[in-house]
Chains A and B, each alone.
Chain A
Amino acid sequence: MREIDRRSKYDRRVFLKGAAVTAPAVAIATSTGLGITDAWADEAGTLTPATMKTLLKMARDIYPHDFLGDSYYISAVKPWDDKAAKDPAVKSLINDGVARLDQEANERHKMPYAQVAWENDRVALLQRIEGSAFFQKIRGDLIASLYNNKEVWPRFGYEGSSAEHGGYIKRGFADIDWLPKA
């Protein structure tokens, strides 16, 4: 069978292009061989760096894929800063939502949500706000902003557009080789 190369060959190109991820700090971190630092969050103009980092943690806890680095989640949540800049209602939805989440965390763990160490404990906090407009907005947006990112597709073994490659007629539409003989 023709398998998909799932290595993250796209990461570097994307960062350098800066198109999908509008975070030069990430690009610098990557191109200098360093890990991703918190610098990407400092670039936010409307939301605070702490809020951006909380959104990142939320995104990872809502749709946790351990084989995906933070960069994919950062590109999914980063646009909230722009949206908040353009729409005060979005800004307060996020700020109020994060404040409530941190309040839930402080009451139970004496620390903000993003610092709670175990995923299970953070998920329990998210479940407390699951019905809120804030949570639903963040979750609903992630369905597209995370899974509709073309750079993510190969990591999940999905090949995307095929017509320009002549379809799959010569590229393994019927190459399954492990089924029991019918």
Chain B
Amino acid sequence: MAKFDLNDSGVVVIVGSGAGGGTLGNELAQKGIKVVILEAGPRIENQDFINDEWDSFGQLAWSDMRTTSGSWRVHKDFPNIPAWIVKAVGGSTVHWAGASLRFDEHEFKIKSAYGNIPGANLLDWPITLAEMEPYYAKAENKMGVTRTNGIPGLPGNNNFKVLEAGAKKLGYKEVHTGRMAINSEPRDGRGSCQQIGFCFQGCKSGAKWSTLYTEIPKGEATGNLEVRPGSMVIKIEHDQSGKVTGVVYADETGAMQRQKARVVAVAGNSIESPRLLLNSASSMFPDGLANSSGQVGRNYLRHMTGSVYATFEKSVHMYRGTTMAGIIRDEAKNDPKRGFVGGYEMETLSLGLPFMAAFLNPGAWGRSFTSAMEGYPRMAGMWLVGEDLPQETNRITLDPKEKDKFGMPVASVHFDDHPNDVAMRDHAYKQGAAVYEAVGATVTYPTPPYPSTHNMGTNRMSEKPRDGVVNKFGQSHDIKNLFVSDGSQFTSGAACNPTLTIVSLAIRQADTIAGAMQRKEI
């Protein structure tokens, strides 16, 4: 396995090993480029994942201090856990559910499609669906997405069967077990789904795609990729010409190291990535790196989310089997007649008993709560996930008081729902309840958003440097050897789960970086 010198200034340093960083690292390594991935968390392999919600949360979740503000309920219920994401090799591809959907064409150009909406900071992506299609195809093949490349869909579990029956009664047309990066048959050296459940706790069988046991070992096998776990990047450094020269990071022992680099790619998810750029401020870049537009950290997107759980007369056992293999897509279209722009997906979801207690209605107590809990085995559940609108004031900033153990300011996350988000959620709650009532639900529970799993938009792509942080290849407008490689480069969030688009962008970005290195542009 490769081991590169700290003074090797020829390497590409990638910060983070998830969907963006892990994919980019492997793609570059396959092209013969030397890569060092610095991952803040430990390396935990499949067999060590835990089928227990709280124990797994303790094992995998990013629980370092963060602060929050704004009118979103997460601020009240979980003030220091704005996001439910992973700190481990593989990043949030360890925790993700596997839903792998392409954006619709209009979702790459929402300013054109939706017009001017007060309070929102809409912008078209500098790329189109047509430009993305070949990369989507590569990503689907790489990840083994069901219902693409001739791969059959996953079998539906009990939770899906309830969703499907209700959806059909309601007249919804596009209902199936999803496009999932979970093997429905053995593929790419990994077995097929054993219907374990616990997709969010790390897939013990490896049927679900995660960079941890796909991209990363493949990249390592080339001899061009070194992954350093337990390595928290503190600061990106640059020279007098304004080019980045490397990073300073705390290694596994807490000692500070300086890794030189030819290129730096930031992929620490949409809270840590802008935090790192802001914490890298210098006399030359007093507002942080890549921030001449002032847009670093702004336009934080977390999706319009919510859940509907419903209780029936008879058992469902929703927790058995693949967590999110079930979708209704009919509401994903943009149909402003519903009272909002953009659309949403309805996807099966289940929580175990411990997380149901924590998330069904945080803070609630008494008989109405316990009566809901007693319906647990008779419950079905769905997650509502839709497009939320970029707002400049929804943003990641550096907390003025709180510092991490290395003395660096922690991220502070501010979020307010846009009225469009609220109108969409209300619509989605109503439709979600109707799906279940159509097949005999005796009670339905409109459940508030959990800490954010889809974090996007805080270093967004723009055609013009004044509107965003990076160009159409994720290359920062200000510094040509500094890239952003995660969901923070999203110009807008679309209705669907973001991972497939992050992976597609990373594959595309690897071509860009390799080409520019070959041409000696960077």
1/0 contact string of B367-379 vs chain A (CB within 8 Å): 1011001101110
Query: Shortest CB–CB separation between residue B166 and chain A, in angstroms?
Result: 9
A161-B51, A172-B317 are contacts. A63–B377 as well, Cβ < 8 Å? no
Stretch of B33-41, B135-143, B152-160, B513-521 on the interface side: B152-160
Of the candidates A146, A167, A172, the one whose C-beta lies within 8 Å of that of B194 is A167
Q: From A146, A161, A179, give the contact of B165 (CB < 8 A).
A: A179
Q: List 12 A-B contacts (CB under 8 A).
A: A1-B314, A144-B54, A147-B357, A156-B374, A158-B377, A163-B204, A163-B205, A167-B321, A173-B157, A174-B155, A174-B157, A179-B162
- Do the beta carbons of A157 and B317 come within 8 Å of each other? yes
Binding site for B on A (CB under 8 A): 1-4, 61-65, 67, 123, 139, 143-144, 146-148, 152-153, 156-164, 166-169, 171-176, 178-180, 182
Chain B residue contacts of A144, Cβ below 8 A? 54, 354, 358
Closest to B204 in A: A163
Asked whether A148 and B54 contact (CB < 8 A) given A64-B367, A162-B196, A168-B195, the answer is yes
Question: Given contacts A147-B353, A159-B319, are A139 and B161 in contact (CB under 8 A)?
Answer: no
Give the complex CA separation of A63 and B366 in angstroms: 6
- B78: shortest Cβ distance to chain A, in Å? 11
Query: A157–B164 Cα gap in the complex (Å)?
Result: 23
Interface of B is mostly: loop
Kindly list chain A residues whose C-beta atoms are within 8 Å of the C-beta of B374: 65, 67, 156
Inter-subunit contact A180/B195 (CB<8 Å): no
Q: Are B370 and A64 in contact (CB under 8 A)?
A: yes
CB distance from A167 to the nearest CB of B (A): 3
Interface bits B179-211 vs A (CB < 8 Å: 1, else 0): 000000000000001111110000011000000
Question: Are B315 and A157 neighbours in the complex by a CB distance under 8 Å?
Answer: yes
Q: Which 5 A-B pairs have the closest CB atoms?
A: A157-B377, A167-B194, A173-B321, A161-B51, A167-B196
Q: Is residue B52 within 8 Å, beta carbon to beta carbon, of the partner chain?
A: yes
| Assembly CA distance A153 to B52 (angstroms) | 12
A174 to B169, CA, bound (A): 20
Contact A171 B320 (CB under 8 A): yes
Given A153-B353, A156-B353, decide whether A162 and B198 contact each other with a Cβ distance below 8 A: yes
Tell me, yes or no, whether B465 is within 8 Å of chain A by CB: no
State in angstroms the CA–CA spacing of A72 and B227 once bound together.
45
B165:A180 contact, CB within 8 angstroms: yes
Residues of chain A within 8 A of B370, CB atoms compared: 63-65
Once the chains bind, are B439 and A179 in contact (CB under 8 Å)?
yes
For residues 42 through 64 of chain B, which have their beta carbon under 8 Å from a beta carbon of chain A?
Answer: 50-54
Within 8 A of A (CB), among B130-178: 155-158, 161-162, 164-165, 168-169
* CB <8 Å contact, A163 and B51: yes
Question: Given contacts A162-B196, A168-B195, A179-B439, is CB(A147)–CB(B158) below 8 Å?
Answer: no
List the A residue with the shortest CB-CB distance to B356. Answer: A147
* Option from A65, A169, A173 in Cβ contact (under 8 Å) with B373: A65
B456 near A: Cβ within 8 Å?
no
For residue B10, CB closer than 8 A to chain A, the reply is no
How far, in angstroms, from A144 to B354 measured CA to CA in the complex?
7
Nearest-neighbour CB distance to chain B for A177, whole angstroms, equals 9
B316 touches A169 (CB 8 A): no
- Closest B-chain residue to A172, C-beta based? B320
Q: Name the B residues within 8 Å of A65 (CB-CB).
A: 370, 373-374
Complex contact A158–B158 (CB within 8 A): no
- A163 x B319 contact (CB < 8 A): no
Are B51 and A143 in contact, CB atoms less than 8 angstroms apart?
no
B381 to chain A, nearest CB (A): 13
Contact pick for A182, options B54, B164, B205, B354, CB 8 Å:
B164
CA distance A4 to B378 in the complex (A): 12
B223 within 8 A of A: no
Contact B197 A167 (CB under 8 A): yes
Q: Which listed residue, B193, B197, B376, touches A157 by the CB 8 Å rule?
A: B376
Q: A180 near B439 (CB under 8 angstroms)?
A: yes
Q: Is the CB of A156 within 8 A of B439?
A: no
> For the complex, is B352 an interface residue (Cβ under 8 Å from A)?
yes
What are the residues of chain A within 8 A of B373 when measuring CB–CB?
A: 63, 65, 147, 156
A146 cross-chain contacts in B, Cβ below 8 A? 357
Q: Mark B314-355, 1 if CB is under 8 A from A, else 0.
A: 111101110000000000000000000000000000001110
Whether the Cβ atoms of A4 and B196 lie closer than 8 Å is no
CB contact under 8 A between A176 and B376, given known A64-B370, A163-B51: no
A156-B376, A157-B377, A163-B205 given as contacts; is B161 within 8 A of A176 (CB)? yes
- In the assembled complex, the Cα of A62 lies from the Cα of B352 at a distance in Å of 21
Please name 20 further chain A to chain B contacts, defined as beta carbons within 8 Å, in addition to the given A147-B356, A160-B352, A174-B321, sorted by A numbering. Answer: A1-B315, A65-B374, A144-B358, A147-B354, A157-B315, A157-B376, A159-B317, A161-B51, A161-B52, A168-B157, A168-B197, A172-B158, A173-B157, A173-B158, A173-B320, A174-B155, A174-B161, A176-B158, A176-B161, A180-B169
Which residue of A is nearest B315, CB measured? A1
Contact A167:B205 (CB < 8 A) given known A63-B370, A147-B357, A174-B156: yes
> How many angstroms between the C-alpha atoms of A52 and B353 in the bound complex?
26
B354 to chain A minimum Cβ distance, whole angstroms, is: 4
Residues of A contacting B198 with CB < 8 Å?
Answer: 161-163
Assess whether B196 is in contact with A63, with CB atoms less than 8 Å apart.
no
Contact B158 A174 (CB under 8 A): yes
| A179: chain B residues within 8 A (beta carbon) | 161-162, 165, 439
Query: Is B376 in contact with A158, judged by CB distance below 8 angstroms?
Result: yes
Assess the B162–A163 pair: CB atoms within 8 A.
Answer: no
CB-CB nearest in chain B for A130: B365
Residue of A nearest to B46 (CB): A163
Q: Which residues of A contact B193 (CB under 8 A)?
A: 167, 169
- When distances are taken between beta carbons in the complex, the residues of chain B under 8 Å from A67 are 374
